[in-house]
């Protein structure tokens, strides 16, 4: 009778351990990262996105989140609205990081950002890497693949079709720089630097030289004529 009771007790302990293990695994699997939008529509502008990273550690709290933005959203298109106290957002090459004082164990990390415009797509994923104060890293980066169940799926946002007439926002062209007066003066050609001006100056020099030569010849003829007239008058006076 006692043997039967011992066997029953051992069976109950095994069952309890199995139930505890199952509950633990379910709890770990339930932890996840997710994203929601106040306007989940393609090409919607100034959309607020809320990200929730559920805590799954009993001994450490979140200290940093790293989010990869989907195609169509640039890091410069993101503005931080809300975050845990003391946390700051920094743009990265493909998204942004959000870090600050470590949260208490078991506290979810929630933050909100405003996106300039959502891309024209049916769904967009935000791969998220979570870092705890003890160095543990949780990567929610898996993307849907043919209906296969994912262990750590990336936060996924499904979008409705764009509103009629909605178009992607385009950057306004950068106005060309206006040359400064000094730059304009330094690049403007001077009159003497052109071939035509150089030829004109050369022609004027030639004309001046020709005029001087002709004037000198006239003066010489007049002097010689006056001298001949004077000599003729002097000889006539002697005779």
d(CA 155, CA 31): 12
Residues 6+ apart with CB under 8 A from 66: 92, 95, 96, 97, 98, 128, 129, 130, 131
- Of 36, 83, 91, nearest to 67 by C-alpha is 91
3-class DSSP state of 65: strand
Other Cβ atoms within 10 Å of 159 Cβ, number: 20
- Between 31 and 197, residue with greater pLDDT: 31
The pLDDT tens digits of the residues spanning 191-201 come to 444 444 334 44
In the chain, what are the domain boundaries? Answer: 33-147
How much is the pLDDT for 10? Answer: 55
Neighbour order of strands in the sheet with 127-132: 88-91, 95-99, 62-68, 127-132, 137-140
The pLDDT tens digits of the residues spanning 69-100 come to 999 999 999 999 999 999 999 999 999 999 99
How much is the pLDDT for 160? Answer: 98
Q: Which residues of 112-151 are buried (b: 16+ CB within 10 A; e: fewer)?
A: ebebebbbebeebbbbbbbbbbeeeebebbeeeeeeeeee
Quickly state the pLDDT bin for 16 (edges 50, 70, 90).
Answer: very low
Angle (CA) 85-89-92 rounded to 5° is: 155
Quickly state the pLDDT bin for 146 (edges 50, 70, 90).
Answer: confident
How much is the pLDDT for 218? Answer: 45
d(CA 66, CA 45): 23
> Structure tokens of 72?
């169509």
Sign of CA dihedral 211, 212, 216, 219: positive
- Of 30, 31, 77, 50, nearest to 157 by C-alpha is 50
How much is the pLDDT for 227? Answer: 52
CATH of domain 33-147: 2.60.40.2230
Out of 53-67, 104-118, 161-175, least confident range:
161-175
- Of 70, 45, 55, 14, nearest to 138 by C-alpha is 55
**Could you tell me if residue 163 is left (phi over 0), alpha (psi between -120 and 50 degrees) or otherwise beta?**
beta
- Kindly tell me if the per-residue pLDDT of 38 is higher than 50: yes
């Amino acid at each position: 009778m006692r043997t039967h009771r011992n066997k029953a007790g051992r069976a109950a302990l095994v069952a309890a351990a199995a139930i505890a293990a199952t509950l633990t695994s379910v709890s770990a699997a339930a932890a996840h990262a997710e994203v929601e939008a106040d306007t989940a529509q393609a090409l919607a502008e100034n959309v607020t996105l809320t990200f929730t990273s559920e805590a799954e550690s009993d001994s450490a709290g979140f200290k940093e989140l790293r989010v990869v933005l989907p195609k169509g959203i640039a890091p410069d298109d993101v503005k931080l609205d809300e975050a845990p106290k003391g946390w700051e957002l920094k743009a990265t090459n493909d998204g942004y990081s959000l870090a600050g004082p470590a949260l208490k164990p078991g506290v979810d990390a929630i933050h909100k950002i405003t996106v300039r415009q959502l891309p024209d797509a049916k769904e967009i994923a935000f791969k998220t890497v979570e870092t705890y104060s003890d160095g543990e890293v949780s990567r929610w980066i898996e993307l849907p693949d043919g209906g296969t169940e994912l262990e750590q799926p990336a936060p996924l946002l499904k979008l409705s079709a764009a509103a009629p007439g909605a178009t992607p926002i385009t950057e306004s062209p950068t106005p060309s720089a206006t040359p400064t007066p000094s730059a304009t003066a330094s690049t403007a050609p001077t009159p003497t630097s052109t071939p035509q001006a150089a030829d004109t100056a050369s022609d004027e020099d030639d004309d001046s030289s020709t005029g001087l030569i002709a004037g000198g010849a006239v003066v010489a003829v007049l002097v010689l004529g006056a001298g001949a007239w004077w000599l003729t008058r002097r000889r006539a006076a002697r005779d």
